[in-house]
Amino acid sequence: MMSPDDSVVKLIRSLKLLTGLLAVVFGLFSVFLLVVLFGKPEPGPDQAAGEKLTETKTADIARLMPWKGPSESDLSKLTPAEQQMVRYGKELIVHTSDYLGPKGSVKHLSNGMNCQNCHLDAGTKPWGNNYFAVEATYPKFRARSGKIESQAKRINDCFERSLNGKGLDEQSNEMRALLAYMKWLGTGVPPKQAPDGIGIYKMNDLDRAADPVAGKAVYEQKCQSCHQPAGEGMLASDEIHYLFPPLWGKHSYNTGAGLYRISNLAGYVKANMPLGASYDAPQLIDGQAWDVAAFINSMPRPRKDLSKDWPNPADKPFDHPFGPYADPFSEKQHKYGPFNPIKDWQKRHKNLDAR
């Protein structure tokens, strides 16, 4: 038999248990509500500043589930003629210079680099600048040109800037193959959506300017063995394609390329370099990635006439290194940072515009 005291204690205990349970249920429900309202919490570039947070950020990002892309069995659902175009498109991404480089078998349009040098694993690596969102998000408005851009225009942008060459004829077999490949890679991605792992890894801001001198030391330690002391890379024995692509000099990307913005270069390097690094197993801390990017982009490279870019200067990203700007910051600060004051200024003035 229980004494009355015992049953009071028991009652209190079960009440405690009940409130505890209620708190847990309520907590879970609020998280669910927040996720529904605001989307999956993702570490954004504005969320954290400083180098100490690198490890947290890396752990956060390892929990994301990057999009995997289609499988070979998806390919077999296409007609044989379509399959052939997809395979040729992939071949052009992987071995661009064999077909379209200075000694290319089809045309001589580009600088000898391959698309895959920057769009890793044929454009399928998570945060390796992959192509999974291309089919779902183009045509789209891009502030750089001030126009709605088709996929073909965007592809030719990389030919003209990243491969410092000329664009493909939009009706050519090669362009149609590249488009077929992009379309296939986009299998299953809902329209207008960019799944996790797309494009380039977004870096945490530094609270200082990126430092080309410190970056040179990182380069000598971690990059030079492959990309060579003068950044020229190394050609294979056939002299048609690179074993290690150039990072600066006359055979590298030009000043209009995406990687000429150091946030892009740092993000690419952080998630992919030295060769073998990945977003969930990076080999550099954030400061090293920013500094080596500053060093690489301080070295000489081909220039592109950019006078037609960014018809509205207020749309220039914080790290676009060429004026005129809508804000009072110098070209030097736009190139190397610190970027937080620029971002704050841009935020304040966007708000004013919106009013």
Using CB under 6 A as the binding rule, whether residue 266 contacts ligand HEC is answered as: no
Going from the C-alpha of 1 to that of each of 4, 11, 15, 73, 113, the distances in angstroms are 10, 16, 22, 68, 86
Closest CB 318 distance from ligand HEC, rounded Å: 14
Residues of 311-340 as b/e, b for ≥16 C-beta within 10 angstroms?
A: eeeeebbbbbbbeebebebeeebbbbbbbe
Beta-strand (E) ranges in the chain?
128-130, 140-142, 147-149, 199-200, 234-235, 242-244
Closest approach of ligand HEC to the CB of residue 151, in Å: 6
Selected binder of ligand HEC within 124, 129, 204, 346 (CB under 6 A)? 129
The region of 1-9, 203-211, 270-278, 340-348 touching ligand HEC under the rule CB under 6 A is 270-278
Say whether residue 113 binds ligand HEC (CB under 6 A). Answer: yes
Contact 272, 127 (CB under 8 A): yes
Q: Which of 206, 257, 271, 294 binds ligand HEC (CB under 6 A)?
A: 257
Among 127, 159, 290, 310, binds ligand HEC (CB under 6 A): 159
- Out of 158, 179, 262, 342, the only residue in the binding site for ligand HEC (CB under 6 A) is 158
Contact between 258 and ligand HEC by CB under 6 A: the answer reads: yes
Closest of 96, 153, 93, 97 to residue 129, by C-alpha: 93
Q: What is the rounded distance in angstroms from the CA atom of residue 274 to the CA atom of residue 278? A: 9
Q: List, in sequence order, every residue forming a beta bridge with 281; answer none if it has no partner.
A: 278
Size of residue set near ligand HEC by CB under 6 A? 43
DSSP E strand stretches across 74-207: 128-130, 140-142, 147-149, 199-200
Look at phi and psi of residue 209 and say left if phi exceeds 0, alpha if psi is from -120 to 50, else beta. Answer: beta
CB 32 → ligand HEC: shortest distance, Å?
A: 30
As a whole number of angstroms, the distance between CA 223 and CA 302 comes to: 21
Burial level of 280, CB count in 10 A (0-12/13-18/19+)?
middle
Stretch that binds ligand HEC, among 63-71, 203-211, 252-260, 321-329 (CB under 6 A): 252-260
> Least separation, in Å, of the C-beta of 187 and ligand HEC?
15
Report 290-349 residues binding ligand HEC (CB under 6 A): 292
CA–CA separation, 3 and 320 (whole Å) = 78
Query: Which residue(s) pair with 128 in the sheet?
Result: 200
Q: Which residues pair with 234 in a beta bridge?
A: 244
Q: Which of 57, 144, 216, 227 binds ligand HEC (CB under 6 A)?
A: 227
- To ligand HEC, the closest distance from the beta carbon of 335 in angstroms equals 16
Is residue 184 close enough to count as binding ligand HEC by CB under 6 A? no
Pairing of strands 147-149, 140-142: antiparallel
Question: Of 71-79, 110-118, 301-309, 322-330, which segment contacts ligand HEC by CB under 6 A?
Answer: 110-118
Asked whether position 274 contacts ligand HEC by CB under 6 A, the answer is yes
Is residue 183 a contact point for ligand HEC (CB under 6 A)? no
Site for ligand HEC in 186-225 (CB under 6 A): 199-200, 222-223, 225
Selected binder of ligand HEC within 54, 97, 124, 162 (CB under 6 A)? 162
Of the ranges 1-9, 32-40, 116-124, 206-214, which one interacts with ligand HEC (CB under 6 A)? 116-124
Q: Can you tell me which of 245, 282, 287, 337 binds ligand HEC, judged by CB under 6 A?
A: 245
Determine which residue in the list 85, 175, 189, 247 makes contact with ligand HEC, applying CB under 6 A: 247
The residue among 168, 190, 163 whose CA lies nearest residue 178 is 168
To ligand HEC, the closest distance from the beta carbon of 114 in angstroms equals: 6
Binding site for ligand HEC (CB under 6 A): 96, 113-120, 129, 131, 133-134, 154-155, 158-159, 162-163, 178, 199-200, 222-223, 225-227, 244-247, 253, 257-259, 264, 268-269, 273-275, 284, 292
